[in-house]
A and B are shown apart, each in its own frame.
Chain A
Amino acid sequence: MASPGSREWRAVCDKFRDAQNLSDVESRKDPENEPFRSKYKARELLREIHGALKAFGGGGGEDDDTDADGDGDAGSAFGRGWPGDSERGMRAARLGVVEYCLGVNHVETEELSAGEEHLMNCLKLLHKFSVTDSNVSLSIQVRNQLGILWAGRDETEKAQGFLETAEAIYAYYMKEAGQPPMDLTDFFVLEEDQLSQQEKTKRFEMAYTHTMYYLAQVYKNVQQYERAGQYCHSTLQRQLQFNQFEPMEWAINAATLSQYYITKSRFMEGRHCLAAAGVIADLAGEVPSEAAAQENEAEYEKREQLRQKRADIARCWIKYCLNLLQDAKKLLEDNIGELDPDRQAEMKRARRNEEEEKEQGRKSAVLFGSSDTFDSICALEEKVSCTFPLEFEEARAIFLVGQEYVNQAKEYFQMDGHVTDHIEILQDHSALFKVLAFFEEDLERRCKMHKRRVDMLEPICKDLNAHHYLLVCRQLQFELAEAYNEMMNLKLSLADRQDDLDAHTVKKFNFLCASSIKYYQMFLDSLRSPDGKFPDQLENDVLRPALVAKFCVARLQSKIITTSLSVQLENLNRSLEDYSFVVQYCEQHPEAKNAAETELELSEEMLTLLPLKINRIQAKMATSN
């Protein structure tokens, strides 16, 4: 081995630095027709270094290679063989670094087999030595690369093996040693150019963060979603811990993770991700003022970006509140969708018991944060509950948080410029009202909540161009029809308590019926072909909505209150027609039966009952004439 500081050694170090520079910096400027020019130059230098190392270091000893193929036996990776920090160990690691660089270089220039060979050489060199601070970083990084390589060849299991070994090596090293290990570049620098301890730690930890990141992808690819989620979480946590992140990007990733948790009804984790996203997003800096944005294009884009992403995080919060309320509703409702007091009492008891137990263990496992941000994240979490609301006041508290985020999100996603997003937010707002109404016991007030839904959606439904927003229009029509329908039902329940109906109530009631019918009908009309024909065969995606709409229209028709027998007869006949549409359609298209089972059953029942009623009215009319 050439002595440190010798001229030969100095030349090797220079070459290594040049090779790195060519590979990382120069290669980005390579011309299109010679895309790998700098990489090839770097490769030449690495080969020279390799040759020089062999010449320095009495290559004899290394030739007794044992086969390290596959890396399956994790035990061997920790090398109970030669001490890694012996002179032989150092020499092997040094050669290993060059093999590693050559491997990466070949992979990057699309020579995968050659790349694999070099990476395996590196692995073989390390194989005989124990894990120490000199080779641990290399051991992890070479396995990261092999993981990427094999995943690219669709051999996911092999990739998983390498990456999981890397993970185990990290855990072993941190337990046994834990001092800042050498970086790959440390092998080829002169004493005075050594990296700082802090920098060494940073690079080492980053390599392991990448292991987590690749494992997250591998687990996703082998459909171990739960695990993939955990590794995404760890990756984010490590980025934060070692201050290796772009704030906005991190925040968006955490907000996305929250959406994963809420789809799994894990609201504690979801809330934690969102609180962290909010705190970290603030680190991305101030939003440039409108004036600054008008003067400068870069400021304009920065303003847009920051505002949009914050609005996006607000929208993730809306979904959090919405899902929490909706899940609670599902737990509390009886078979006709009303609040079940027995269930409520039972759940309240269960909650008291749980509070006594305290889920501390679970909570500590999911925490994000570094010492700087931890308190802020916890403070943000306090603002909204993560347990199911069991009564109106609790539901209202969550609703209000959701509504606040609705307003925040609307500030950026305004109708003018962001139609689709704006409407989606309004739809969520409407859904928040709808689920809040479930918890409300006072029917009048409940009705008012649905009225709020109508008020926010109706004007848009009127103005929106169906040519460009067909699907959104259909959603709005359906939701409006349904909101009016619910209002009608509530009025009906209220009317049942009264002895006789005054003209005003009747008028109101009929208006609600008619409005609901109008929107269901609009939806049904949107299915017609350009020449106005209703399709013989409904597309799968609209099959259920269309049958439900027909069914609801039938039901609403028959409920309209009128003193005129002839009008009533007319309404009932229409109703009959729509019920029989549902039944006939299902007869002709048996696959539709499953889509609207309950509606079909009720329609069939009505087909036997309605004619009797119609006959009665006809008889009555005949006698009165």
Chain B
Amino acid sequence: FFFKFSSDGDNIKVYVRVRPLTQGTGLTTDGDRSLCLTVTPPNTIRLHSKPEPRTFTYDHVAGMDTSQEAVFSCVAKNIVESCMNGYNGTIFAYGQTGSGKTFTMLGPSDFDNLTDELRGLIPRSFEYLFFLIGREVEKSGNLKSFLCKCSFIEIYNEQIYDLLDSASASLFLRENIKKGVFVDGAVEKFVTSAAEAYQVLEMGWRNRRVASTSMNRESSRSHAVFTVTLESKEMDGQLVNIRTSQLNLVDLAGSERQKDTHVEGSRLKEASSINRSLMCLGQVIMALMDVSNGKSRHICYRDSKLTFLLKDSLGGNAKTCIIANVHPGSRCFGETWSTLQFAQRAKLIKNKAMINEDTQGNIQ
């Protein structure tokens, strides 16, 4: 007899944000004012597809006039709060280049303006986190203290690079019985305020750009993961309680770049004639096995680095949110459609684990 244990699907919230139409974004949509979708608050979006329009439903849909503050309150506030309570939290940003990902996450491109009304979700999360820390410390009469560390890595082509140490070679993922999955050797910077955290982010972000030219990597093809590790220490008489939690802010590779790797229905994987390698064959065999449930088997193909790193965040007791950014212009129809589909699939992400239990043995 087999059981499946999995996290409940509700752990992953999906939030869709539609950016406004503006000139000069460099997108091919400039000048074309026609829209490919309509937003029906609070949670549906209607895509003007042919022959039939399609309606998608999410946890929340934000229309073109949604403020940065509103996005933060709806998406991040709750996650930052649960980090304070010792839970892990992750916020993913997903969407086509030019769909407003960076604006949502960081804000307008000039960096160091932490007071700007347009600043994004990340600076706001930092501020809120340190506000909560200050309040907690005060409330506890200094019996509680916090330690905050940041790391920033980039995953490109299944290789991990440290954005806080651009000179380092690629790093490896490891696991420890006490601290779970971590990037071995990644630089961790201690920070004591939102401004300091922001500085670390900025430094890494710059490295990401440098890397994109010097190593011919392109930022829109890589995933960037900024992690804030929060450690709280509480004196309870003689006992010291230590709790740690992580807040991961993930900038996923531009969705238009993933065309090749995505699940695309029935498309066949090709092999060029000189190639001795038929990598996809293994995927085909794996797909055959997924229909024959129940038996214990070993899959030799590793998880992607990103899913493995964020293992904790995709199941168990973590809070996760995906922000799918879309561009409403008619010419972005194809990309928008695939982003909305991805977001729908994301609702189904579950971290499964099996348990083997023999009922017969229990009842006698």
Whether the Cβ atoms of A471 and B362 lie closer than 8 Å is no
Partner of B355, one of A141, A218, A467, A475: A475
Q: Do A203 and B273 form a contact, CB below 8 Å, given A152-B268, A323-B296, A428-B296?
A: yes
Chain B interface (Cβ < 8 Å from any Cβ of A): 3-8, 85-86, 88, 169, 174-181, 218, 244, 265-274, 276-282, 284-289, 291-292, 294-301, 311-312, 315-317, 351, 353-364
Give chain B nearest CB distance to A66 CB in angstroms: 29
When distances are taken between beta carbons in the complex, the residues of chain B under 8 Å from A479 are 355-356
Complex Cα spacing A218 to B287, Å = 12
A486 interface contact, C-beta 8 A? yes
Whether the Cβ atoms of B357 and A478 lie closer than 8 Å is yes
Whether the Cβ atoms of B86 and A323 lie closer than 8 Å is no
Whether the Cβ atoms of B300 and A255 lie closer than 8 Å is yes
Q: Do A482 and B361 form a contact, CB below 8 Å, given A206-B273, A259-B297, A545-B355?
A: yes
When C-beta atoms are compared, the residue in chain B nearest to A427 turns out to be: B356
A254-293 interface bits toward B, Cβ cutoff 8 Å, 1 = contact, 0 = none: 0111011011100000000000000000000000000000
When C-beta atoms are compared, the residue in chain B nearest to A255 turns out to be: B300
Give chain A nearest CB distance to B334 CB in angstroms: 12
A399 interface contact, C-beta 8 A? no
Complex Cα spacing A246 to B315, Å = 36
Chain A interface (Cβ < 8 Å from any Cβ of B): 24, 32, 141, 147-148, 151-152, 154, 156, 159, 203, 206-207, 210, 213-214, 216-218, 220-221, 225, 228-229, 232, 235-236, 239, 244-246, 249, 252-253, 255-257, 259-260, 262-264, 297, 309, 312-313, 315-316, 318-319, 322-323, 326, 333, 335-337, 415-420, 427-428, 431, 434, 460, 463-465, 467-472, 474-475, 478-479, 482, 485-486, 489, 530, 539, 541-542, 544-545, 548, 551-552, 555, 598-599, 602
When distances are taken between beta carbons in the complex, the residues of chain B under 8 Å from A485 are 361-362
When C-beta atoms are compared, the residue in chain A nearest to B169 turns out to be: A297
When distances are taken between beta carbons in the complex, the residues of chain A under 8 Å from B4 are 541
Most buried by B among A210, A468, A544: A468
When distances are taken between beta carbons in the complex, the residues of chain A under 8 Å from B5 are 471, 474-475, 541-542, 545
Give chain B nearest CB distance to A408 CB in angstroms: 13
* Minimum-distance CB pairs A-B, first 6: A468-B180, A337-B360, A470-B316, A419-B175, A471-B353, A259-B297
Whether the Cβ atoms of A463 and B178 lie closer than 8 Å is yes
Complex Cα spacing A589 to B23, Å = 56
Complex Cα spacing A418 to B299, Å = 16
Whether the Cβ atoms of B285 and A253 lie closer than 8 Å is yes
Q: Do A337 and B270 form a contact, CB below 8 Å, given A312-B300, A428-B296, A467-B86?
A: no
When C-beta atoms are compared, the residue in chain A nearest to B2 turns out to be: A544
Whether the Cβ atoms of B270 and A148 lie closer than 8 Å is yes
Whether the Cβ atoms of A545 and B268 lie closer than 8 Å is no
Complex Cα spacing A313 to B295, Å = 17
Whether the Cβ atoms of B268 and A264 lie closer than 8 Å is no
Whether the Cβ atoms of B298 and A259 lie closer than 8 Å is yes
Complex Cα spacing A539 to B315, Å = 14
Give chain A nearest CB distance to B194 CB in angstroms: 26
When distances are taken between beta carbons in the complex, the residues of chain A under 8 Å from B311 are 420
Complex Cα spacing A312 to B301, Å = 9
Most buried by A among B177, B265, B274: B177
Complex Cα spacing A282 to B354, Å = 32
Whether the Cβ atoms of B297 and A544 lie closer than 8 Å is no
Whether the Cβ atoms of A263 and B295 lie closer than 8 Å is yes
Whether the Cβ atoms of B296 and A471 lie closer than 8 Å is no
Whether the Cβ atoms of B267 and A151 lie closer than 8 Å is yes
Whether the Cβ atoms of B266 and A221 lie closer than 8 Å is yes
